[in-house]
A and B are shown apart, each in its own frame.
Chain A
């Protein structure tokens, strides 16, 4: 380096070492920025109301424990939901309007799988007013309700008719979609809370319904465990299975042998599970559905995967009779159908085409045309339209597949949570409608347990945030990118056993996926406001992770509000 003996800096040019801070430019403004978080549409759409941007943010920061804890505040079964949820979050993701939605569903699974989380951070409240409560049925709704009731400090007795908890997750969904090890881990985590689980206790048989009255509040979630019949001739023949029984047999590890060909009747998730399981038992499988593919109630991914695995579909046909041919194979007579008009739920109606019949022969027939609730043990006043209905006056609450709601895992979990809050409010003598309006997540049906716990004892409820729309996102700051495609087991191996098909994300894929989140309506410390503030009036508190505005120098120019990609910073006129 050439060193100069030239005059010093100050000698050559004037320089001030004083500060311009004495000039209180903040007095010039007419408006001030303030931070107002908003609810992202994914969180609003999630029946469990999971704080999705927060868990993605934490995961992206490699803070996987906190990410999982974020989910566990609203949903005790992320490993299950990360596999079998119908993920309405992704359908409502703002990013879907930009390029492709964020892989929220797969990220939930990743966050759940990446950590063997010990539950010590989820502690029950110390509840002076702890009561004895009962939950009937340890499926997703019952487990969820028991979990949240226990967190709320109540003494929970969980009754399960079968010898193991889990309900449809244990006995319905096959291993290749939801490994039992995952389910077991999640249930174990729930049962670390002080919950008394009693299995093999069937209400109406092992204890009477009236005996439940010893509890101060009761949640009923018996599920829909009965297989709906086809109600046609020949349905009781050998080698005709009911879908639920078939799946339960497989999940019980019974030795089930199928012939060369299997025909499955139905278009829902059970039909898909049945068909794909039959395929794994070495049969060729055809699914017959009375409407078309568009009307199938099964999750779209499931239909696609079934098709990829080699299942054939026959649409617009309905079985009318089952008989045996001379070789003692099953012969099914079908009626051809057509779509005409709509039913009350606006689904196209399938009606028979007069005189159009044909027959198909098969080795096995498995029917999966819906599930029904076993109402035999219930008092008449709790039954409405063949479903469970607890009404709103008694100390009895209900949820899950037995009540009138969509039959999905996450809906069941949400109903368990809602019931837990309702029961807590009932035991405290408070009006649920008032509280529900304060703990809602967006404008759909989701409720936040986190908010409930925040306001429950203090009586101070945070403001309910508005939902942030795509139009409010400043997409200039995002670059288009594709979703990370999900890796699956090799298609030639996949049918050989019941091992899980989807392989989940590795850490690199997860980082990529989490970083695609727009973090709508929340601050992810992108520092845009900090960088763009012409006054240098914005700073970040590294300890709190919060943004601090120096109002003595903020001129209220609004640059930070414009530069916020997530619509968190808003300008407010000064009076």
Chain B
């Protein structure tokens, strides 16, 4: 069914379609609309699961972990400060191998206070052991939530699906809402094997020896690494069922490109437009969209960028004292590639500022003109 809706509602639709039995959440702008939509449906009897009202995001995540360990699908949504408050529990979710699915609406982190789009909140959580996706629009967010359950429940790791505040969460676009039967076919009910057994009570998170701790971390790393393959496979199965696919990254006009722009999230849409114009002007330019961030698709990135001369990574985030975080990851992934390209870090769209086609053009022209490497991130502003 084709409908006109916000990214937030698209996410709520996905959660409903996945028949998630437990949703524990705490409201925070700009995520609250997801919570409200699900609550409305709960009140009118349209939601199969229950909404659990918690007193904080920390408790929301703790509740999801506990519920997940009883063997059921769980969901929560948060943003910015809420995600930061969850931090401790994020490690517990991954460490307990709880396949919780969460949507994070990327909002800047205080201080100063604000509500605007910025990816620093979720990128700050990159080392918590969560799988991370970044979505371009509401449709992709809806589809990614459905895919997220399929992946999470295969590897027993939690998944965070991120989309930017307002640009995705509040913009209304046409969204295809799948039929329930399709989703049921793609995502049958689960009965997680690792769940509490009333007849054999156990205590989770006991103290373990150094060697055991290391063993579990190694096992988790192996599982995390397998996600790259599994995510690709799940996306292909998804495409078969629903007719839409995304890959874990997406290459556009890369074949003959000498210069490549790298983006994640909603800036990709603008960049798609910008490179068409740049091509018309005779520039050999391409675009690479990063969708999966954790695990980082190192091999895919290496392959896509082989033989390219210059890369410009556009980051709507900054790790102070270093630079754009996607750029750091990209540089690290390319370091062993033969003749690896010069990689430039561009900071644009911080704090929800507009990244217009002109801004992207400015970045492209800047990188085309450069011949020497530069370590410092470059701030690009609108005129």
Q: List chain A positions with a Cβ less than 8 A from chain B.
A: 1-4, 6, 8-9, 11-20
Contacts and interface: CB of A to CB of B under 8 A. Distances in A.
A496 B105 CA distance: 76
Contacts of A4: 192-193
Interface of B: 95-97, 154, 156, 188-195, 200-206, 208, 212, 216, 219
B200 A17 contact: yes
A197 to B, nearest CB: 63
Contacts, number: 52
B206 A14 contact: yes
Given A1-B188, A2-B188, A6-B156, A15 B193 contact: no
A163 B208 CA distance: 88
Contacts of A20: 203
Contacts of B188: 1-2
Nearest to A16: B206
Contacts of A19: 203
* B188, B190, B193, B208 pick with most chain A CB within 10 angstroms: B193
Given A1-B191, A17-B200, 7 more contacts: A6-B193, A8-B194, A13-B97, A14-B205, A16-B203, A18-B206, A20-B203
Task: Give 6 closest A-B pairs by Cβ, nearest first.
Answer: A9-B194, A16-B206, A15-B202, A16-B203, A1-B191, A12-B97
A538 to B, nearest CB: 18
A9 B195 contact: yes
Nearest to A11: B219
Contacts of A13: 95-97, 194, 204, 216
B97 A17 contact: no
Contacts of B200: 17
A3 B206 contact: no
B193 A9 contact: yes
A20 B189 CA distance: 35
Contacts of B203: 15-20
Contact of B189 (A2, A9, A15, A18): A2
A442 B105 CA distance: 62
A205 B201 CA distance: 82
Contacts of B216: 13-14
A105 B147 CA distance: 65
Contacts of A15: 202-204, 206
Contacts of A14: 204-206, 208, 212, 216
28 contacts: A1-B188, A1-B189, A2-B189, A2-B190, A2-B191, A4-B193, A6-B193, A8-B193, A8-B194, A9-B194, A12-B97, A12-B156, A12-B194, A12-B219, A13-B96, A13-B97, A13-B216, A14-B204, A14-B205, A14-B206, A14-B208, A15-B202, A15-B204, A16-B206, A17-B201, A17-B203, A18-B203, A19-B203
B115 to A, nearest CB: 35
A534 to B, nearest CB: 15
A50 B33 CA distance: 57
Contacts of B190: 1-2
B-side interface mostly: loop
Nearest to B155: A6
A11 B215 CA distance: 10
Nearest to B192: A4
A55 to B, nearest CB: 38
Nearest to B205: A14
Contacts of A8: 193-194
A4 B96 CA distance: 18
B380 to A, nearest CB: 45
B93 to A, nearest CB: 11
A20 B201 CA distance: 12
A201 B62 CA distance: 81
A11 B189 CA distance: 23
Contacts of B97: 12-13
A347 B29 CA distance: 67
B94 to A, nearest CB: 10
* A1, A14, A16 pick with most chain B CB within 10 angstroms: A14
Contact of B202 (A1, A6, A11, A16): A16
Contacts of B204: 13-16
Contacts of A2: 188-191
Contacts of A11: 219
A17 B202 CA distance: 4
Contacts of B212: 14
B355 to A, nearest CB: 41
Nearest to A4: B193
Contacts of B205: 14
B156 to A, nearest CB: 6
Contact of B191 (A3, A12, A16, A18): A3
B234 to A, nearest CB: 14
Contacts of A9: 193-195
A405 B159 CA distance: 79
A1 B190 CA distance: 6
A140 to B, nearest CB: 56
Contacts of A1: 188-191
Nearest to B96: A13
A15 B156 CA distance: 16
A8 B200 CA distance: 14
Contacts of B193: 4, 6, 8-9
A14 B205 CA distance: 6
A19 B212 CA distance: 20
Nearest to A17: B202
Nearest to A1: B191
Contacts of A18: 203, 206
Nearest to B208: A14
Nearest to B200: A17
A12 B96 CA distance: 8
A14 B208 CA distance: 8
Nearest to B216: A14
A261 B189 CA distance: 83
Nearest to B202: A15
A464 B193 CA distance: 58
B233 to A, nearest CB: 16
A16 B191 CA distance: 22
Nearest to B194: A9
A242 to B, nearest CB: 69
Nearest to A14: B208
B51 to A, nearest CB: 22
A12 B194 CA distance: 8
Contacts of A6: 154, 156, 193
Nearest to B187: A2
A3 B189 CA distance: 10
A3 B192 CA distance: 8
A244 to B, nearest CB: 65
* B154, B194, B202, B204 pick with most chain A CB within 10 angstroms: B194
A253 to B, nearest CB: 63
Nearest to B206: A16
A25 to B, nearest CB: 15
A18 B203 CA distance: 8
Nearest to B215: A14
B57 to A, nearest CB: 22
A3 B193 CA distance: 8
A420 B292 CA distance: 89
Contacts of B219: 11-12
Contacts of B95: 13
Nearest to B156: A12
Contacts of B154: 6
A62 B223 CA distance: 58
A12 B69 CA distance: 12
* A3, A15, A20 pick with most chain B CB within 10 angstroms: A15
Nearest to B212: A14
A15 B200 CA distance: 11
Contacts of B191: 1-3
B182 to A, nearest CB: 16
A1 B72 CA distance: 12
A286 B192 CA distance: 82
A17 B212 CA distance: 16
Contacts of B194: 8-9, 12-13
B172 to A, nearest CB: 35
